[in-house]
Amino acid sequence: MAQRMDADVGYDELAVLKLLALDGGLRGEVKVSCSDLAGRLDASNQTASRRLQALEDAGFVERDLVTDGQLVDITDAGERALQHEYEDYRRIFDGPTDVTLHGTVTGGMGEGRHYISLSGYNRQFNEKLGYDPYPGTLNVELTEQSRRERAAMERLDAVPIDAWEDEERTYGSASCYPCTVENTEGDAFAPAHVIVPDRTHHDESKLEIIAPEKLRDELGLVDDDTVAVRVTPRED
Ligand SMILES: Cc1cc2nc3c(=O)[nH]c(=O)nc-3n(C[C@H](O)[C@H](O)[C@H](O)COP(=O)(O)O)c2cc1C
Ligand SMILES: Nc1ccn([C@@H]2O[C@H](COP(=O)(O)OP(=O)(O)O)[C@@H](O)[C@H]2O)c(=O)n1
Ligand SMILES: [Mg+2]
């Protein structure tokens, strides 16, 4: 839990972020005075001010000082931090459920093929996923909403792919989330896995998917086609 937060952002700061969000901070700027915040936190003005500063340093809020206080806006990173908390509570009370992410098929750098074929990974895919993956990753550009919901996927248990090395270099670890891939005609393909490499050129807006078959052929997909990726909780 703590490792996914910035060093200076812990639960005390998250509590402040939550208050800001309750005041409407996800929808626009909210007016904040440190003394009011301090009262609600049952803490000193100094403490309230320090926590706001930590949130700003972590990039979770943006602030504008005005004469009688400050205008505070929660950033996308701040929203993601809250979303992680929300997902934890949802999981506590509801248990794990499917997470469906939406996006469009895109071409990438043609590197997926190389990595999937490497023996150090390939051996693990066969053993741990139970299939020999098609050499490549289907890249999916997520919609804005699905970018936010990605946090829910990452709270599910993943199949861990371990780091390894050959004579020349080391290769990073990765997480595989079991999924079903669906096209807009309602055709579905499984088994498949969303693969999240620890080292990647892609940002949060892209998903990479592996499967035993070429998904473009199985589901008749071309660039810009819409797909739904239903990530299912692990059964074991
Ligand atoms: C299993 C796996 C392991 C990877 N390991 C590394 C790595 O060790 N170092 C690295 O720079 N990128 C690594 N990558 C990420 C690729 O560099 C790249 O971000 C991505 O897979 C490219 O996909 P694309 O060709 O589909 O765009 C890995 C990717 C996969 C799928
Ligand atoms: N299971 C898979 C894996 C990759 N692919 C496709 O196979 C090709 C090779 O994958 P890649 O990851 O090396 O290439 P790019 O994603 O970089 O374009 C790409 O066109 C992928 O979209 C697929 O259709 N089904
Ligand atoms: Mg790819």
Angle, in degrees to the nearest 10, between helices 144-154 and 76-94:
50
pLDDT band at 110 (very low <50, low <70, confident <90, very high): very high
Q: Is the pLDDT of residue 1 over 70?
A: no
Q: Is the pLDDT of residue 177 over 80?
A: yes
Q: What confidence score (pLDDT) does residue 3 get? A: 40
Residues 18-66: pLDDT tens digits? 999 999 999 999 999 999 999 999 999 999 999 999 999 999 999 999 9
- The boundaries of every CATH 2.40.30.30 domain in the chain are 99-231
* Mean pLDDT value across residues 67-88: 91
**Percent with pLDDT over 70 in the chain:** 96
Q: Tell me how far the alpha carbon of residue 144 lies from the centroid of ligand 2, in angstroms.
A: 22
Q: Is the pLDDT of residue 5 over 60?
A: no
* Mean pLDDT value across residues 72-83: 94
Q: Is 216 part of any known ligand binding site? A: yes
pLDDT averaged over every residue in the chain = 93
Query: Rounded to whole angstroms, how far apart are CA atoms 229 and 209?
Result: 9
Which residues' Cβ are closer than 6 Å to ligand 2? 107-110, 112-113, 134, 136-139, 210-211, 214-216
Number of Cβ within 10 Å of residue 146's Cβ equals 21
**Percent with pLDDT over 90 in the chain:** 81
pLDDT band at 6 (very low <50, low <70, confident <90, very high): low
Which residues' Cβ are closer than 6 Å to ligand 1? 108-112, 115-116, 121, 137, 139, 171-172, 174, 195, 197, 199-202, 208
* Mean pLDDT value across residues 209-221: 98
Q: Is 109 part of any known ligand binding site? A: yes
Number of Cβ within 10 Å of residue 52's Cβ equals 22
Please state the ipTM of this predicted complex.
Answer: 0.97
CB 181 within 8 A of CB 229: yes
Structure tokens at 166: 């050959």
pLDDT band at 7 (very low <50, low <70, confident <90, very high): low
Closest residue CA from atom 18 of ligand 1: 200
- Assigned architecture for domain 99-231: Beta Barrel (2.40)
Supply the DSSP symbol for 24.
T
Fold topology of 2-93: Arc Repressor Mutant, subunit A (1.10.10)
Query: Rounded to whole angstroms, how far apart are CA atoms 68 and 71?
Result: 10
- Where on the phi/psi map is residue 110: left (φ > 0), alpha (ψ -120 to 50), or beta? left
Q: In which residue are the tokens 């700027």 written?
A: 29
Query: Rounded to whole angstroms, how far apart are CA atoms 118 and 188?
Result: 28
* Mean pLDDT value across residues 194-216: 94
Query: Rounded to whole angstroms, how far apart are CA atoms 93 and 82?
Result: 17
Query: Rounded to whole angstroms, how far apart are CA atoms 99 and 77?
Result: 20
Q: What confidence score (pLDDT) does residue 161 get? A: 98
Residues 57-70: pLDDT tens digits? 999 999 999 988 89
Closest C-alpha among 221, 195, 206 to residue 118:
195
Work out the angle at residue 156's Cα, subtended by the Cα atoms of residues 153 and 157, and round it to the nearest 5 degrees.
135
- The boundaries of every CATH 1.10.10.10 domain in the chain are 2-93
